[in-house]
Amino acid sequence: MGDEQNPFLPIANVGRIMKQILPPSAKVSKEAKETMQECVTEFISFVTSEASDKCRKGSRKTICGDDICWALGAVGLDNYAQAIVRYLHKYRVAALNQHKATTRSFEDKDEESDRSGEPSHQEDETTTPQVVMNIFI
């Protein structure tokens, strides 16, 4: 046996999400975190399995975000599916805007370097989009 990989989500992350929804004075036991960790892992496996089956039937090997959205609807979680579709759209727009900003930044630096003969040392002002989703709200 030896080096079996833990199939669960990190318990610290699960606990952090649980605490976000509770009042600040609330305490969460280790057993509660472990139980939620198992439930969340099972839920993700179930939805991913549905998405995987769809991909297999379509002769595809890669599951994408749209497949997860479809799977949520297929298992009767239409409200979650709609929320995830909106999130996925916002994420893709943010990623596209980030890509465009980074590309422009590199082009500007190249032009600046071409004019001065030296590389530009100006800081890149673009930041990675911080997109956070809380599925429990």
Q: Which pLDDT value is given to residue 115?
A: 60
Per-domain residue ranges for the chain? Answer: 11-105
Sign of CA dihedral 34, 40, 41, 42: positive
Give the mean pLDDT of 99-127: 60
Q: Which tens digit of pLDDT belongs to each residue from 53-77?
A: 999 999 999 999 999 999 999 999 9
Is a pLDDT exceeding 70 seen at residue 25? yes
Per-residue exposure over 17-38, b if at least 16 CB sit within 10 Å of its own CB, e if not = bbeeeeeeeeeeeeeebeebbe
Are the C-beta atoms of residues 75 and 47 closer than 8 Å to each other? yes
Sign of CA dihedral 106, 107, 111, 117: positive
Structure-block tokens of residue 94: 């943010």
CATH, range 11-105: 1.10.20.10
Is a pLDDT exceeding 50 seen at residue 136? no
> Phi and psi of 132, rounded to 5°?
-120, 130
> Phi and psi of 63, rounded to 5°?
-85, 130
Q: Which pLDDT value is given to residue 116?
A: 57
